[in-house]
Amino acid sequence: MRKLRRLLLKNMSTKPMTHRQIMEALSGLLLVLFVAMASSTIVSTALPRIIGALDGSQTQYTWVVTASLLTATASTPIWGKLADLYSKKLLVQISIVVFVLGSMVAGMSQTAGQLIAARAFQGLGMGGVQALVQIAIAAMIPPRERGRYNGYLGGVMAVATVGGPLLGGLIVDTSWLGWRWCFYIGVPIAVIALVVLQKTLNLAVIKRENVKVDYVGATLIALGVSTLLVWVSFVDSSFAWLSWQTYAMVGAGLAILALAVRVETRVAEPVVPIQIVKQPTTALSIIASLAVGMAMFGGSVFLGQYFQIGRGYSPTEAGLLTIPMMAGVLVSSTVAGRLISISGRIKPYLVAGTLILVGGFAGLSLLDHDTSLWYVGGAMALVGIGVGMTMQNLVLAVQNTVALKDIGAASSTVAFFRSLGGTIGVSVLGAVLAHRVTDNLTHELAAAGVPASGASASSTLNLSALPAAIQHLVRVAYGDATGHIFLISAAIAVVGVIAALLMKPTALRSTVDAVQPTEEPAGDSPGVARDGSRGRAEDLALTES
């Protein structure tokens, strides 16, 4: 009886899913992804108003975003490793619950510090959702067919990215709602996602014994990166570049990261598998993902601030003005996904996407406080097209080169470095923006004959508390400083172009798992591979209910 049950389960696990089954499961996954993506984009346009209401500073503005990105980054490899060991369905549901709890606490925050802490907790759930959705899709659909479904993925991400800023702007502009509903609004959507997933998501579970998750490595990576980001946030404002604080923080951060690398090379189940990172396709995808991460997060965060503080538009108007970038993501991700599925080639689209991304950033580097909105929209559309052609396809390039048993770790590794790029990008660009604004504002206030106390008061983002004359000077300072940070982004995006050019052209495989060698040594049983491990059918013998 046990052998019969095992055979039946094996046949069930190896039977391909029909298009209808895939779409039913995909509906739940995309709803989950919508919740996570919308939570970030809702905040992007509402954040100037939120930080103003909490009387926060530019540094706190940056850290509200950085905190969630940092915890999402640190937790992504852990979610990915757990997905290789346990139920992907259960892990998705757990990540949604964590996200909901973080959203509720964020909505109840009374100070900017409390909001930063709540966003850090919320980021744990966001990291899980964003990593696990792509892992689940990879477990269901072969790489050759995945481009077609990645179009749906990109479309939902674009809708969340376009609708989020608009919804966030409407919420903060509606007096009877208020900014706290920017966090509460995702809770009912998340509950619906849980119900849909419970009914539609059924994935194979690979049971492995004596496995340990590398929590030590993940903690060291998060601690090392956090130390360096804190240094970036305060250097040249609270202390000098060449000071004991710089030596202590940079030295400690690098030492912790070096220790993390040592741990990752020695543990049995590293959160960032060195053997996968060493593969040329994975390594180059990681480098390109750093640039895309900066584009995806930096663009939405600082463009929203540019339109509201630098140009004086309302949150709702700022959301409408970011539509060109989000429309670019929607169109390019859908079209590129279809073309990749038809041709089976991915490198040309990655190269074209990174080149367009550089062009978009170069265009945004010319922004000032009175740049034509038509010009701004065109440059944003280029950035969106570049992101749409590269973001999910970099993950696809890696998934195409690894076995099914490593898809979770490989996918989460790329997502980890993409989030790390976004985290570093937001923190570094935020620090550069704050420094540039301070310099511009000091010069403008001195030219206007405003005393030093006026410059000190203008450090807050609560513009309504400032005199009208100083409000105008603050807007000019922010508008003129924003272009500088996108010039830095353009330079970094060039690295992504180089990485895409160096990738080896590879045809996408048409099977979910890597094809095993057809020749077998004499005496081997059909169910055993050359290395003595069980075949995919045996590994997938247990199926989730």
Least trusted range by pLDDT, from 97-101, 297-301, 437-441, 451-455: 451-455
pLDDT of residue 143: 66
pTM score: 0.71
Range among 228-242, 257-271, 399-413, 469-483 with highest mean pLDDT value: 257-271
Three-state DSSP class for 533? coil
pLDDT at 457 over 80: no
Q: What is the pLDDT of residue 514?
A: 56
Helix and strand numbers (H, E) in the chain are 20, 2
Distance CA 478, CA 474 (A): 6
How would residue 121 be classed by pLDDT, with cut points 50, 70 and 90? very high
Residue predicted with more confidence, 352 or 200 = 352
Confidence of residue 463 (pLDDT cuts 50, 70, 90): low
Mean pLDDT estimate for the chain:
76
Residues paired with 239 in a beta bridge:
235
Q: Mean pLDDT, to the nearest integer, of 187-192? A: 83
Using one digit for the tens of pLDDT, what is the confidence trace for 41-51?
787 778 888 88
With a CB cutoff of 8 Å and minimum separation 6, the contacts of 527 are: 534, 535, 537, 538
Which is more confident, 205 or 131? 131
Closest by CA position to 165, among listed 9, 275, 373, 323:
323
Q: For the stretch 431-442, what's the b/e string if a residue is b when 16 or more beta carbons lie within 10 angstroms of its beta carbon?
A: bbbbbbbbebbe
Q: CB of 508 within 8 A of CB of 340?
A: yes
Least confident span in 34-43, 195-204, 293-302: 293-302
What is the pLDDT, as a whole number, of residue 355? Answer: 93
Residue 450, pLDDT > 70, answer no
Highest averaged pLDDT of the listed ranges 19-23, 98-102, 234-238, 326-330: 98-102
Statement: residue 519 has pLDDT above 90: no
In this structure, the strands spanning 542-543 and 204-205 are antiparallel
Q: Is the dihedral of CA 241, 244, 249, 253 positive or negative?
A: positive
Task: Specify the pLDDT at position 82.
Answer: 80
Q: Which residue has the higher pLDDT, 449 or 171?
A: 171
Q: Which of 296, 253, 479, 301 is nearest to 388 (CA)?
A: 296
- Report which residue type is found at 456: S
pLDDT tens profile 409-418: 677 677 777 7
Instruction: Identify the weakest region by mean pLDDT among 103-117, 171-185, 230-244, 274-288.
Output: 230-244
Res. 363 pLDDT band, cuts 50 70 90: very high
Asked if pLDDT for residue 332 goes beyond 70, the answer is: yes
